Amino acid sequence: MNDAHELDAVGLLCPLPVLKARKRLQKLSSGDLLIIAADDPAAVVDVPHFCTEAGHILVSADTNGPIQRYTIRKG
């Protein structure tokens, strides 16, 4: 069964949310989920681009409101 993990990146600016996500994903097993909370406006572009480049799947992106939530499945 896949595990879900959370990363609080609120208050961090580009490129820190993606760098912290990369570091956290390295420790996870393929198929695990990482849920990121961020408020950096650049995350809307950075997180999907990171997923594409690193071979992960962006399962969902909730960008409404001050805190954005991204769910990534490790590739």
pLDDT in tens, 25-73: 999 999 999 999 999 999 999 999 999 999 999 999 999 999 999 999 9
Catalytic residue (one of 14, 19, 33, 54): 14
59 three-class SS: strand
Determine the Cα–Cα distance for residues 3 and 11; give it in Å rounded to an integer: 25
Domain CATH for 37: 3.30.110.40
Does the pLDDT at position 15 exceed 60? yes
Q: Which domain holds residue 30?
A: 4-73
The structural domain count of the chain equals 1
Q: Decide: pTM greater than 0.85.
A: yes
14 catalytic per annotation: yes
Which amino acid is present at 22? R
CB 25: neighbour CB atoms within 10 A? 21
